[in-house]
Amino acid sequence: MELEKAIRERRSIRKFNSKKVPDKLVAEIIDLAQWAPSGGNQQLWKFIVIKDMELRERLVKETGSTPLLTKCDKAILVIYQKNYLTHYQTDIESASAAIQNLLLAAHARGIATLWVSTEKLNEKKLREILRIPKDYWIVSYVLIGYADENPPAPKRRPLKDIMCEDYFSFEDEKNLSSRYSPKNWTFGQLKYYWNTSILHTSPNIAGVFPFGRKEDFEREVEEVTKLLDVDEAIEILPYAGTHTVKFLKNVRFKKFFFFEISKQVESFLKRRLDFFKIDQKNEFLVSDELKIPAKDNSFSGAVCFQKLEMLPSQKQLLAEIYRILKKQGIFVLSFRNSLSYYGLWYIYNYKLRKPMDWQIFEPINYFKMKSMLEEVGFEIAETIGISPTPFSRGVATKLFAPMCKLVIFKCVKK
């Protein structure tokens, strides 16, 4: 296959059929992988081809590896030996070059691949299960098999956004994904960020739920479902639709609306609803700004799942929601609470450790949120807290709500 064609047409595949990749081809693509350049020409990459299904199931269950591990033909774990000649960064660079070779070599043979990060796994457990010594970096999984989907190519950025001459001359302020707090952005920047992260299909359509947060998530959707007892409602900023998919599986409305801030999010979410076979009748209201394109007193219900903590202008949106609700209309809101153990975790991780992450948000103080809601005119009819401590994930409580990781307010328009 011609190189340029292979580079352009290789896709990340997340749905595999049951056809097996012959061992001979696996050996060929790994052999081609090692023709990548490596720092100091050390070539210290190793490729563990994981075939055993029980082993893969264990990795999913015990290390938080993606369930896709059990849905492909084989998984390859790429590791790189730590060494005194090169720096961590160089080792990862070398391993990554080999991985890209592997993906292209596989693609040229009609084999589908998915590069999967290992960054959020239980690394200790992974080493223990696969017997990987301490002196190896665990780099990435590459899942292989034959494709059972033909996804469209995610767009690439315009060349002017990625290339310049001599001196740095990019519009840097547009990309704020390394600044965790929405207080540091404008609404326009938030929109740009949401658009580009959708553009890069991250999170992906199949959306595997992160390890360890599942109980909270399931309980949250369950409680919101109970509280939003109306037959027509609007979801405010579904974004990638993780909650939406779960929520609309549980409950049917006469009609469901979405308010979104970009057309890209709309088309992404539509594809996602199709993927999960959700046929709930729906309509998108899309606006460039935080103004919901709907008349006053239009809806009997509204819901917003953990989005306010991603916004620089929270009160403005709350006032909009109040405006579009009918009298006695219900607004159910969930948010991450800074007065909980999670608030401390956030300070440690984001403020002290400052990791780069694609999740941009800042938990909101329970009392601040409550007073913002009241200031725009809502009456809080019910409060539920989820996960009062890290050891009680998914536990719902009314009494200890102000100290829970997640808080759900059922608000009524007076």
Ligand X SMILES: Cc1cc2nc3c(=O)[nH]c(=O)nc-3n(C[C@H](O)[C@H](O)[C@H](O)COP(=O)(O)O)c2cc1C
**What is the nearest approach in angstroms of ligand X to the Cβ of residue 317?**
29
**What is the nearest approach in angstroms of ligand X to the Cβ of residue 233?**
30
CA distance 227 to 411: 10
CA distance 309 to 302: 17
339: phi > 0 → left, psi -120 to 50 → alpha, else beta; which? alpha
**What is the nearest approach in angstroms of ligand X to the Cβ of residue 259?**
26
Q: Which of 311, 310, 305 is nearest to 241 (CA)?
A: 305
Per CB under 6 A, 201 contacts ligand X: yes
Per CB under 6 A, 115 contacts ligand X: yes
How many chain residues interact with ligand X (CB under 6 A)? 13
Q: What is the token pair recorded at 161? A: 């956004």
- 45, 78 Cβ separation under 8 angstroms: yes
CA distance 85 to 83: 6
| Residue among 116 and 292 whose Cβ is closer to ligand X | 116
Q: What backbone torsions phi and psi does residue 180 show, to the nearest 5 degrees? A: -70, -30
CA distance 43 to 404: 49
DSSP string spanning 178-224?
T---GGGS-HHHHHHHHHHHHHTT-S-TT-PPPTT-HHHHHHHHHHH
Q: Which amino acid would we find at residue 338?
A: S
Q: Which of 77, 83, 93 is nearest to 44 (CA)?
A: 83
**What is the nearest approach in angstroms of ligand X to the Cβ of residue 280?**
25
Out of 70, 83, 181, 204, the residue judged to bind ligand X by CB under 6 A: 204
Helices (H), ranges, 328-387: 341-346, 366-376
Vertex 66 angle, CA 61 and 68, to 5°: 110
| Residue among 204 and 365 whose Cβ is closer to ligand X | 204
- 235, 304 Cβ separation under 8 angstroms: yes
| Residue among 15 and 405 whose Cβ is closer to ligand X | 15
Per CB under 6 A, 11 contacts ligand X: yes
| Residue among 11 and 370 whose Cβ is closer to ligand X | 11
**What is the nearest approach in angstroms of ligand X to the Cβ of residue 14?**
6
Q: Which of 12, 9, 17 is nearest to 147 (CA)?
A: 17
Out of 202, 349, 359, 371, the residue judged to bind ligand X by CB under 6 A: 202
CB atoms within 10 A of CB 100: 14
Query: Pairing between strand 378-386 and 396-397?
Result: antiparallel
Q: Which of 137, 147, 52 is nearest to 86 (CA)?
A: 137
**What is the nearest approach in angstroms of ligand X to the Cβ of residue 13?**
8
C-alpha R_g of the chain:
23
**What is the nearest approach in angstroms of ligand X to the Cβ of residue 394?**
24
| Residue among 189 and 201 whose Cβ is closer to ligand X | 201
Stretch of residues binding ligand X (CB under 6 A), selected from 43-51, 112-120, 188-196, 312-320 = 112-120
Stretch of residues binding ligand X (CB under 6 A), selected from 10-18, 39-47, 258-266, 348-356 = 10-18
Out of 22, 37, 154, 293, the residue judged to bind ligand X by CB under 6 A: 154
CA distance 311 to 182: 6
| Residue among 192 and 258 whose Cβ is closer to ligand X | 192
| Residue among 127 and 200 whose Cβ is closer to ligand X | 200
Stretch of residues binding ligand X (CB under 6 A), selected from 38-46, 109-117, 123-131, 345-353 = 109-117
| Residue among 115 and 284 whose Cβ is closer to ligand X | 115
**What is the nearest approach in angstroms of ligand X to the Cβ of residue 239?**
16
Stretch of residues binding ligand X (CB under 6 A), selected from 24-32, 108-116, 217-225, 386-394 = 108-116
Per CB under 6 A, 413 contacts ligand X: no
Per CB under 6 A, 219 contacts ligand X: no
Q: What is the token pair recorded at 314? A: 């929270």
Per CB under 6 A, 76 contacts ligand X: no
**What is the nearest approach in angstroms of ligand X to the Cβ of residue 25?**
20
Q: How many residues does the chain have?
A: 414
| Residue among 175 and 389 whose Cβ is closer to ligand X | 175
Out of 1, 12, 92, 232, the residue judged to bind ligand X by CB under 6 A: 12
Which position has the token pair 């992974």?
Answer: 126
117-136 residues in contact with ligand X (CB under 6 A) are 117
| Residue among 201 and 282 whose Cβ is closer to ligand X | 201
Which chain residues interact with ligand X by CB under 6 A? 11-12, 14, 114-117, 140, 154, 200-202, 204
